[in-house]
Amino acid sequence: MKIYIHTKFEENEALLIKEQLSEKYKIVIGEEIPAEKREEEFLSASICFGNVPLAWAQKTTQLKWLQLHSAGLDPYQQLTDHTFKITNLKGFFGQSVAETAVAGILAMYRGVNHLTQLQMQTKWVGTPLRSTLHLLNNAKVLVLGAGAIGLKVRDLLTGFNCKTTVLDSKTITQLEEHLPTTDIVVATLPETPETIGLFNKERLHLLKCTALFVNVGRGSAVDEQALIEMLLNNQLYGAVLDVTATEPLPDDHLLWQMHNVLLTQHTSGGWANENIDKIKFFLENLSRFECGEALVNIANLARGY
Amino acid sequence: MKIYIHTKFEENEALLIKEQLSEKYKIVIGEEIPAEKREEEFLSASICFGNVPLAWAQKTTQLKWLQLHSAGLDPYQQLTDHTFKITNLKGFFGQSVAETAVAGILAMYRGVNHLTQLQMQTKWVGTPLRSTLHLLNNAKVLVLGAGAIGLKVRDLLTGFNCKTTVLDSKTITQLEEHLPTTDIVVATLPETPETIGLFNKERLHLLKCTALFVNVGRGSAVDEQALIEMLLNNQLYGAVLDVTATEPLPDDHLLWQMHNVLLTQHTSGGWANENIDKIKFFLENLSRFECGEALVNIANLARGY
């Protein structure tokens, strides 16, 4: 049985896969063969680990199981009539993304990004900065999304004495009631028809001018132009954006220059052992596949996560 | 009875004091009178709020109570034979300093300071950054000092699934046992004969090369030259320093330029309502003073906090 690997791994990571699987399987790692040979290798594989081009996934007749290396399903929602199973990494990034969300909140409140700028300029300000800082203590936090990320954000805030509310796909109808009294919004939403444009101009304007907007879900959840206008006009305290409408962010984009915005460049899902841990997840799911057990994280293409 | 105020307050803050106290007391705010008149006004006051020069405190015969606006007692340990009570703001800065400590840890682990530098340079790196990041999840944290700051650091970490140990003045003898397995040291120590130079070169070298050193106590606790050498030689992962041996940090100091150091410029004790909250603390202690009740935070000059 052939396994095709379509993820960019370091040498030691690829080695781990081969060590574990070469006795039982034919392993083909896309990165190790010429680009023009890859599609052909994929099309004769029974199992694939990695996010292959949609066109390949539409063409395969041999594939039994596609393990994605992402939580997001885009663009595979467009698949129809596929006969293979699709699993994703739902939940895998919860801790990591939630840690970046809280890191971003604390960076804004405790002035870390401003202090970093001063450090680059060899500029001591000290005491006068103190009155510009804020405490997370007592803050009213609204977390959107009750998946692995949203629940983990709530967990991480346990010791901070915040008033945290988590809205899931059912309770999201209460969004507008909560916005006017919220200090910090943390959007952790996947991209679905319901979440696209959820934060339109009207809803954004329900927020206090002291509110901090954090987005670690998908850029499509927010009307970015409306958000930028509010930030420019000090109608919001600030924004921490791991995701934006366009990534990479174009050089001439306004967001780069805004002092009340922290851009984390879609890194929130990452950590030093991310790939090793992904491989471990795949190997565990593979052992289930071998025994005919139910795979973990069967993707629901219709729902979008 | 005269109250002399020796703290730099904004107009609205000074107004709050006057509104609350002018009926009962003669209030003199040092900042509002010529500099050369201040010592004389202090010397005829019964109560003082603020850190007056040591020489004044040595000279007064009228003072009954000195409420400091700091947690630190320096330089008042040098007082001998004083007849007035001294109270400080011990515990007042716990939440704020602990939040900056955790903000700093998360900033280093989640790359916030590096991402801020990239933002200043309008430079998108994105995915390749992910493998440089770390998770606080599971980290072994050693907190030095079991005062308000140390205990609050432990509280704030509750949701992060860290293995946190707090050493107080009795258990500090176990320091050397803990250092070789610690991921993150958070020093929250006051300056006392026992803490000065506690982190000498020998003890620093017991740390792992992946360890993060955080100091939100006093700069005198660490051999700064040894720390810098280790950071330059990648014998440590990094440092978050709210305090340094010399403050403000001189322009030509090596620490400014170090990519694995975050300098928070002794701001950790600050927040937007810091002064208002200090005034509230003073007013509450004053009502105890009026009733002859025991004052909160009587300073122990011999102990140093």
**Pair (B148, B228) in one structural domain:** yes
CA distances from B255 to A189, B124, B244, B268 (A): 40, 26, 10, 18
CB atoms within 10 A of CB B15: 11
Q: How would you classify residue A286: left for phi > 0, otherwise alpha for psi between -120 and 50, otherwise beta? A: alpha
Closest Cα in chain B to A274: B131
Residue B172 makes CB contacts below 8 A (sequence gap 6+) with: B144, B194, B198
What is the tally of structural domains in chain A? 2
Closest chain B residue to the Cα of A252, Cα to Cα: B122
The answer on pLDDT for A302 being more than 90 is no
* Minimal Cβ distance to B126: which of A122, A127, A248: A248
Pair A86, A100 in one domain: no
Least CB-CB distance to A131: which of B132, B160, B270?
A: B270
- Compute the average pLDDT of residues A41-56: 98
Spell out a b/e string for A254-279, using b for 16 or more CB atoms within 10 Å of the CB, else e: ebbebeebbbbbbbbbbbeebbeebb
Q: Which domain range does residue B82 map to?
A: 2-92+271-291
| B276 in a structural domain | yes
Q: Which amino acid is at B296?
A: V
Q: At what angle do helices A94-109 and B94-109 cross, to 10 degrees?
A: 130
Q: Is residue B130 part of a domain?
A: yes
Residues A259 and A116 in one domain: yes
Helix axes B112-120, A94-109, angle to 10 degrees: 60
Q: Which residues of B touch A13 (CB under 8 A)?
A: none
- Distance, in Å, from the CA atom of B138 to the CA atom of B136, rounded to the nearest integer, reads 6
Residue A247 and residue A173 in one domain? yes
pLDDT of residue A304: 80
In this structure, the answer to whether residues A82 and A107 fall within a common structural domain is no
B124/A265 CB distance under 8 A: yes
SS (H, E, C) B151-163: HHHHHHHHHHCCE
For B269, nearest residue in chain A (alpha carbons): A130
Q: Give the full edge-to-edge strand order of the sheet including B212-215.
A: B163-167, B140-144, B184-187, B212-215, B238-241, B261-263
Q: Do A275 and A239 fall within a single domain?
A: no
Interface test with A, best of B9, B97, B106 (most A CBs within 10 A): B106
B151 with B281, same domain?
A: no
Neighbours of A37 (CB within 10 A): 11
By C-alpha distance, which of A116, A66, A71 is closest to A95?
A: A71
Count of C-beta atoms within a 10 Å radius of residue B53: 13
The encoded tokens of residue B118 equal 């990239």
Beta strand spans in B46-149 (E): 47-49, 65-67, 85-87, 140-144
Percentage of chain A modeled with pLDDT above 70: 100
In a domain, A299, yes or no: no
pLDDT score of B303: 85
Q: Which of residues 89-128 of B touch A (CB under 8 A)?
A: 95-96, 99-100, 102-104, 106-107, 109-113, 115-120, 122, 124-127
Q: Is residue B42 part of a domain?
A: yes
Whether residues A85 and A182 share a domain: the answer is no
Asked if residue A304 belongs to a domain, the reply is no
Chain A contact probe: residue of B156, B231, B254 with most A CBs at under 10 A: B156
The two most distant CA atoms of chain A are separated, in Å, by: 67
Confidence (pLDDT) at B270 = 97
Q: For chain B, how many helices (H) and strands (E)?
A: 10, 11
Residue A95 has pLDDT above 90, yes or no: yes
Give chain A positions within 8 Å (CB) of B92. none
CA dist., res. A240 & res. B106, Å (int): 14
Do B76 and B116 sit in the same domain of this protein?
Answer: no
Chunked mean pLDDT (size 10), chain B, 305 residues: 96 96 97 97 98 98 97 93 96 97 98 98 97 97 97 98 97 97 97 95 98 97 98 98 97 97 98 96 98 96 84
Chain B residue closest in CA terms to A125: B265
CATH number assigned to the domain comprising residue A88: 3.40.50.720
Tell me whether residues B156 and A155 touch, CB distance under 8 A: no
Answer yes or no: is B304 within a domain.
no
Residue A300 counted as domain residue: no
Shared-domain flag, residues B247 and B118: yes
The answer to the question of residue A181 being in a domain is yes
Q: Which of B 215-274 lie inside 8 A of A, CB atoms?
A: 247-249, 251, 256-257, 261-272, 274
What is the arithmetic mean of pLDDT over A22-50? 97
Q: Are residues B160 and B20 in the same domain?
A: no
pLDDT of residue B239: 98
One domain for residues B9 and B53: yes
pLDDT at A254 over 90: yes
Q: Is the dihedral of CA A280, A286, A288, A293 positive or negative?
A: positive
Residues of B within 8 A of A257 (CB-CB) are 122
Could you tell me the pLDDT band of residue A305, with boundaries at 50, 70 and 90?
confident
Mean pLDDT of the residues in chain A = 97
Q: Output the pLDDT for position A303.
A: 85
ipTM of this predicted structure: 0.92
